[in-house]
Amino acid sequence: MVLTEAAHLHLAVAGNALRDLEAELAARLAGRADAGRLRRDLTLVIRDLGGETPPPLRPVW
């Protein structure tokens, strides 16, 4: 499979957005004892939606 330049750009933008969201969530949860439980619960939701393979990222253009 060969990705187009637009696909590479989308993956870079999506990756940056996810890192930003993860950093914001980590800052909000810093020091909370239940942060690990939340991470596990969110992982379960994502796996329920997409199986063992994470759901694909799709560009909206």
Distance (Å, rounded) from C-alpha 21 to C-alpha 23? 5
What does the pLDDT look like over 7-27, one tens digit per residue?
A: 999 989 988 898 888 888 878
Distance (Å, rounded) from C-alpha 53 to C-alpha 17? 20
What does the pLDDT look like over 17-57, one tens digit per residue?
A: 988 888 888 788 887 777 778 778 877 877 787 776 766 66
Question: In Å, how far are 7, 11, 32, 46, 57 from 39, measured between CA atoms?
Answer: 28, 23, 12, 11, 20
Q: Where are the domains of the chain?
A: 5-50
The pLDDT value given to residue 58: 58
The pLDDT value given to residue 56: 66
Q: pTM for this one? A: 0.51
